[in-house]
Structure 1
């Protein structure tokens, strides 16, 4: 069970990093008029990276691992996910810099892609500041999530699963949402102004929290499935060990 949960968390984290280069318009996707938010003197429509579609699953999996395998389990999986993200980007960098076959470069001209190599490099060659920022934010967010989750669990016991799940996510993603933007776009080459940084960070954080709340039923469904799989005795033992950890 631990291997399955860890594998699904890691593949979601790695995939979110790689597809996150695409920005999508939420209102256009839903077929509604742009909302035109206005924060800190900035305005705009609801645009997010495609990676944000996967991060709520990472939150749910983090809380589930925390519930049954404790902070040690979450820390292990978090470091493993970071290692796999770095591994993936290293080989993406290598793939960009190997010489392309001449016929392959123009193979997609009829699809509106005149230079396949340039498109490949643009998609997979995300800026180093973005990569560094996302990795730091992910790791810091995960470690904070663990700490807050166990503080709430110690205070409430086995009650209010939704509270420790959303409470830990609320704090960890507040840090995550702003750390990644600050490293990638304020310290990075684009040098965003601070009002823009706060405005976009707030919008991203709001989306993540709405998604986390919407997925609470999935958290309970996973717990029910795990209980049925483990049986009462084994589940009680795991949860007891996780609490002591």
Structure 2
């Protein structure tokens, strides 16, 4: 934050309301990273089912996007922890807008009639074609899950007095990813062809556990990133007087 607290200065605790309209040195870069990972995870990861062989279990299929999509939750934790809920809220809306435009662009481009000499339309549709039900479920789940994640993260920071970052990151991800999974899988697949009710529940619980597990494994990375950014900005933001409505973008 450009207030004279440099990279070499101390870190002071400050209420988020006192930073309204303030400029942070690294906020724009973190926001760009969040939106980039969000879009790439949905474009490159969502369409492929991979498989690994687990000892004692055998072949285990999984959506390839799970390798990178949880990183967006890690960055969401970093945003709330370092910059406060209001700025994390703005980033969530930016990501939601980017997803909405990506869905619209995909629909238009796939629907365009291919040139007679271009023979890749079927492959293109297989990769970028979208089922409206799944798109709607994905966007609603993302929006709700990210806001729950950020809210729990900010509230837990107040409850713990800024201590126990590991508990806040894992706890907020457990809540946020739980809401994400509970919305996405039933909306996208309940009653769909090839999906039994038991399978929907199994995949829901498995993906939820894997995402929370990823968050736990990445905890040391989160500590390093959060520590560096706080030293860079010179502040430790607490949301004591923050309006936690999701329907705002003012910071």
TM-score normalised to structure 2 length: 0.80
Aligned length: 216
3-state secondary structure, aligned to 2:149: helix
Question: Which residues in structure 2 correspond to 1:185-200 (within 5 Å)?
Answer: 185-186=189-190, 189-190=192-193, 192-200=195-203
List gaps (5 residues or longer) in structure 1. 37-44, 106-115
Shift >6 Å, 4+ stretches? none
With 71-80 and 214-223 compared, the bigger mean Cα shift is at 71-80
1:26 aligns with 2:48: no
Name the SS for the 1:46 alignment partner. Answer: strand
Q: Does 1:208 align with 2:223?
A: no
In the other structure, the counterpart of 1:42 is: none
Measure the CA separation in 2 of the matches of 1:144 and 1:129. 22
Tell me how far apart the structure 1 counterparts of residues 185 and 165 of structure 2 sit (CA, whole Å): 30
Give the C-alpha shift of residue 186 in structure 1: 0.6
Q: Tell me the alpha carbon deviations over residues 39-98 of structure 1, each in whole angstroms, 9 at most, x when there is no partner.
A: xxxxxx432222111222111110111012222112211111111111011111111122
User: Which blocks of at least 5 consecutive residues in structure 2 are unaligned?
Assistant: 1-25, 243-251
1:15 equivalent in structure 2? 40
1:192, distance to aligned residue in structure 2 (A): 2.8
2:28 pairs with 1:3: yes
For residues 146-205 of structure 1, the C-alpha deviation after alignment (integer angstroms, 9 at most, x for no partner) is 221122111111110111110000111112123111111015x43733211111111111
Identify which of 61, 66, 89 aligns with 2:103.
Answer: 89
State the alpha-carbon separation in 1 of the partners of residues 138 and 56 from structure 2: 27
- Aligned partners of 1:8 and 1:34: how far apart in 2? 37
Which residue in the other structure is 1:225 paired with?
A: 228
Question: Larger relative CO (CA 8 A, sep 6+): 1 or 2?
Answer: 2
Instruction: Find the aligned partners of 2:37 and 2:175 in 1 and give their Cα distance.
Output: 21
- Aligned counterpart for 1:68 among listed residues 82, 86, 91: 82
